[in-house]
Structure 1
Amino acid sequence: MKKSTTGLLLGSALVVGLSGCASSASQSSGMGDTASSDRAWYQSPFVCGLAGGLVGGGIGYATSSDSDEDQGAAIGTTAGATLGALLCAEPNRTPAPEREARDTDGDGVIDANDQCPGTPAGVAVDAVGCPLDSDGDGVPDFQDQCPGTPAGAEVNALGCEEDLVLRDVNFEFDSAKLTMGAEQILADVAEKLRANDNVRVRIEGHTDSVGSEAYNEDLSQRRADSVADYLATQGVDRNRMRTIGYGESQPVATNDTDAGRAENRRVELGEWE
């Protein structure tokens, strides 16, 4: 066989063989460090370099004239070994800075340090990425309807020790129509209920003793319904709310004074279990 033909065949073998090794090495490296540790023996840069040197030397010898066969073989061996080692070398595995600094939930704590991934947008978190719980009652601030609960107090899913009186949730005189100030207060209640969407609530209406018992019971029911309807407009599922009108039957103060009657006219929010 002529030297030129031998050189062509050996060159083709070098390109095909080393390309295959490199392709396999690249696929393995894409599977992570575990996969790269299990690379086949023929994917090693050393083996690829050795094979490249042998084939390259053969190409150099086959394509050289009779007078410089040794020099051609030496050059081919060096070039082949270098090419083989480079093709099968491990890629640079230094993590990209942006990957290390990724903050998927946007809470200011990178994923590598975040013990509470998936925090809702805008929620204040602590140093390890968990929502703040200022009173330590187990209900995060962004869901807590009763912030500032005393330490060690037992609370319900709303973060309250007992039913919450919705202070300043008032109605127009002798009506179930909410005042503008009441709507502003209820908007904050709704925000926390949306964030605490696995909790169902009771909304209770109460009146003073002015008027008939039947009238007051009906008025308190309409007022409780009005609160629930407003919360529903703010994104709280109506099926999560139960309304009850107690009328004048559960006073918390005397009905003999203006101040006492004002306390009795109230709406309470509690957990519906």
Structure 2
Amino acid sequence: STSKYLESRLEEFAREIIDKTQIPDNVVKVQLTGHTDIIGTQTYNLKLSQLRAEKELRYLRDLMKFLLNLDTDFELDQWMKENNLTLTAVGKGESEPYYIERYRNGKFEKVLVGDNSLPEGRSVNRRVVIDVSEMIKK
């Protein structure tokens, strides 16, 4: 289940996506990417990560329907087409553990946060990442 904190963040994100689509000629692409830890087989984890991303995508779509006062998925699909918005869900399995970039001693370095040899590392690897790209259509 999703926490109230994450639900409120996803609702705010849905509002931001809707706002971005209102910029004239803006093409917005949103990709939700699911990830897993290394527990289980690669095949299972790939499927699990895809399901994880699709679950959040469905929830994002439901929030957008609510915010836009739309009743059906068909109406949302039409709205998305008219407003140059694409939403996709992708599963990456265990292939991309969580890294952060930090600035130290005058340069950026990648730091592994999702260390699969540690319980807390495996926990942060079980995630969905949302990427947004925008392009003004000329």
TM-score bucket (shorter structure): 0.5 to 0.7
Letter in 2 for 1:209: I
CA distance in 2, matches of 1:179, 1:215: 25
CA distance in 1, matches of 2:133, 2:9: 21
Matched, 1:204 2:28: no
Q: Distance in 1 between matches of 2:11 and 2:35?
A: 21
Following superposition, the deviation at residue 272 of structure 1 comes to: 4.9
User: Where in structure 2 are there 5+ consecutive unaligned residues?
Assistant: 66-75, 81-85, 99-113
1:174-189 alignment runs, 5 A limit: 178-189=2-13
1:235 Cα deviation after fit: 1.6
Structure 2 partner of 1:228: 57
Distance 1:192 1:265, change over 3 A: same
1:256 pairs with 2:117: yes
Structure 2 Cα separation of the partners of residues 246 and 263 of structure 1: 14
The residue type paired with residue 251 of structure 1 is P
1:14 match: none
Alignment of 1:187-198 (within 5 A): 187-197=11-21, 198=26
Shift of 1:263: 1.9
Q: How many correspondences in the alignment?
A: 97
- Describe the SS at the equivalent of 1:214: helix
1:230 Cα offset (Å)? 0.9
Q: 1:195 is aligned with what amino acid? A: D
* TM-score, L = length of structure 1: 0.33
How far residue 203 of structure 1 moved from its aligned partner, in angstroms, is 0.7
| Higher normalized contact order (CA 8 Å, seq sep 6+, divided by chain length) | 2
Q: CA RMSD in A?
A: 2.0
Whether the aligned pair in 2 keeps the contact of 1:242 and 1:272 (CA below 8 Å) is no
The corresponding residue for 2:106 is none
Q: Share of identical aligned residues, percent?
A: 34
Amino acid in the other structure paired with 1:213: Q
Q: Which has the larger radius of gyration?
A: 1
Correspondences of 1:207-218 after superposition (within 5 Å): 207-218=36-47
- For structure 1, list consecutive stretches of 5 or more residues without a partner in the other structure: 1-171, 173-177
Cα deviation 1:190-220 (Å, max 9, x = unaligned)? 1111111141111100010111111111111
Deviations 1:42-97 (A, max 9, x none): xxxxxxxxxxxxxxxxxxxxxxxxxxxxxxxxxxxxxxxxxxxxxxxxxxxxxxxx
Q: Displacement, 1:258?
A: 1.3
Partner of 1:45: none
Taking a change above 3 Å as real, the CA distance of residues 244 and 272 of structure 1, as seen in their structure-2 partners, is farther
Q: How does 1:47-66 map to 2 (within 5 A)?
A: none
Distance in 2 of aligned mates of 1:185 and 1:271: 15
Normalising by the residue count of structure 2, what TM-score does the alignment of the two structures yield? Answer: 0.62
| CA distance in 1 between partners of 2:19 and 2:133 (Å) | 17
Q: Which residue of 1 aligns with 2:127?
A: 266
The SS at the match of 2:49 is helix
Q: Which runs of 4+ in 1 moved over 3 A?
A: 178-181, 236-239
